[in-house]
Amino acid sequence: MNIRDISSLKSFLDKKVEQYNTSDFIKDDPVCIPHSFTQQQDREIMGFFASIFAWGQRKTIINKCRELVQRMDNSPYIFVKEHEDSDLRKLLDFKHRTFNDTDLLYCIDFMKRHYVHSDTLETAFFPTENMTVEEGLNHFQSYFFSHPDAPHRTRKHIPSPVQKSACKRLNMYLRWMVRNDGRGVDFGIWKSISPASLICPLDLHVERTARKLGLLQRDKPDWRAAEELTGNLSLLDAADPVKYDFALFGISIEEKCVIDIQ
């Protein structure tokens, strides 16, 4: 990592985490969708969809999530668990960018099958102890598409490290579910892995700031780049490197990457 003064960088980014990792962040971010529920399973389900939909304008993402909640009678977990085939008509013609009703219906079917055997989506990612995030994401994709009728077109929405994808949306989902710092944004409802094990979501905003700060050198924004960034953030806080997602994202989207490290 080509940084002249790690101590100064840490101080700078810690202040930005304090600035952006607050309850004020919630209302304009897709994380507001799972925050509108209190039951764990509702938060898991809508957190999953909010993260999968998270590309494009945040306002559009939030509106599409709210539309989906309405189509599921404002009770995602009950809908997933108890719907009849006739209820699925409510989901037809749903679309967000390249995610359509074929993808949605398969997601609902997967969740219904999974919740028969488990009361949490956590076990869909981490069925055994001591798994890494990389292992968990690879397992999830394999498990998600294990049904013989899984549509091939849906695979582009559920990537994995084995495909060299940075898995930015799924890593964001894991951040929401795993981190619990008392600041009100992330939920901390999954306990299979620690925040120290998370991988930083490498979206366009985070990538841009990370490169300006010398935290990322790899030219391709792939899984190895996400690992490189997270490894460098671990030098600043080994116990919770992904907290800096707030800082890197906020600097880019709110401050247009204007950086002044005093």
pLDDT tens figures, 97-107? 999 999 999 99
Q: Is the pLDDT of residue 254 over 90?
A: no
What is the model's pLDDT at position 256? 64
What is the model's pLDDT at position 182? 94
- Please name the residues in contact with 161: beta carbons below 8 A apart, sequence gap of 6 or more: 134, 137, 138, 167, 223
Domain boundaries, the chain: 6-255
Give 5's pLDDT tier (boundaries 50, 70, 90): confident
Give 261's pLDDT tier (boundaries 50, 70, 90): low
Give 51's pLDDT tier (boundaries 50, 70, 90): very high
Q: Is the pLDDT of residue 262 over 70?
A: no
Q: Is the pLDDT of residue 259 over 80?
A: no
Q: How far is CA 110 from CA 40, 54, 75, 159, 234, in A?
A: 18, 20, 17, 16, 35
What is the model's pLDDT at position 258? 55
Q: What distance in Å separates the CA atoms of residue 168 and residue 55, rounded to the nearest whole number?
A: 10
pLDDT in tens, 176-214: 999 999 999 999 999 999 999 999 999 999 999 999 999
Q: Is the pLDDT of residue 4 over 60?
A: no
According to DSSP, the residues that pair with 230 across neighbouring strands are none
pLDDT in tens, 86-99: 999 999 999 999 99
Q: Is the pLDDT of residue 253 over 90?
A: no
In the numeric block, which tokens belong to residue 227?
């690992």
On average, the pLDDT of the chain sits at 95
What is the model's pLDDT at position 257? 55
Residue found by looking up tokens 């849906």 in the block: 154
pLDDT in tens, 113-129: 999 999 999 999 999 99
